[in-house]
Amino acid sequence: MQSEASLKIAIVDDSAVRAAILEEGLREAGHRHVIRVEGTENLLERIYAIDPDVILIDLENPSRDVLEQMFRVSRAVKRPIAMFVDQSDSASIAAAVDAGVSSYIVDGLKKDRIKHILDISISRFNAFSRISTELEQTKSALTERKVIDRAKGILMKRKGLSEDQAYALLRTSAQNEKKKIAEIAQSIITAAELLK
């Protein structure tokens, strides 16, 4: 993420008064690149066009439809999002968390809190992104491990090799082909399926 002052921040708010509070708090915190988005029509497309680093959404009294649209934006844009609402219930809070909203602030729109909320939103988003990336890498490694184990089993059965010998054959083939071991393993599995 960029330096704080160069962050591009989008404010989604229909209320000029409430948006002004957010903008003033951001400018006092040193943020100069603040863009206000009015209305929710074609919101996702407009957010994509702006391509902000952070999104602040201010909803005075959101309806379920408006909340759901904001949650769709949150799921789609993969950016830190702080959502300010005046009223909420546990279902809306749970939906916000599921949608990836970094900070969900109920009745807390105060100019002097904006910088801290922004910092927390960015930190929580980055932490969640790291965890998501690690989870995906772990799932991928587990999937590769299963493919390799299956290919070793095929080689052991068909060629009468030990497990170590089967793995050594996979590794040597991968080095010779300049491919990953999992790719060679998948080729063996595919060939074995075809030869059944």
Residues of the chain within CATH 1.10.10.10 domain(s) are 139-194
CB burial of residue 18 (10 Å; 0-12, 13-18, 19+)? middle
Report CA 7 to chain centroid distance, whole Å: 18
Q: What CATH architecture is 4-109?
A: 3-Layer(aba) Sandwich (3.40)
Report CA 28 to chain centroid distance, whole Å: 29
- Cα Rg for the chain, rounded, in angstroms? 25
Query: Residue 5: what pLDDT?
Result: 62
Q: Is 139-194 assigned to CATH 3.30.1330.10?
A: no
Residues of the chain within CATH 3.40.50.2300 domain(s) are 4-109
Is pLDDT of 196 > 60?
Answer: yes
Nearest to 80 by CA among 47, 49, 112: 47
Output the pTM of the full model: 0.67
Is pLDDT of 1 > 60?
Answer: no
Contact of 125 with 80, CB cutoff 8 Å: yes
Residue 184 pLDDT level (bands cut at 50, 70, 90): very high
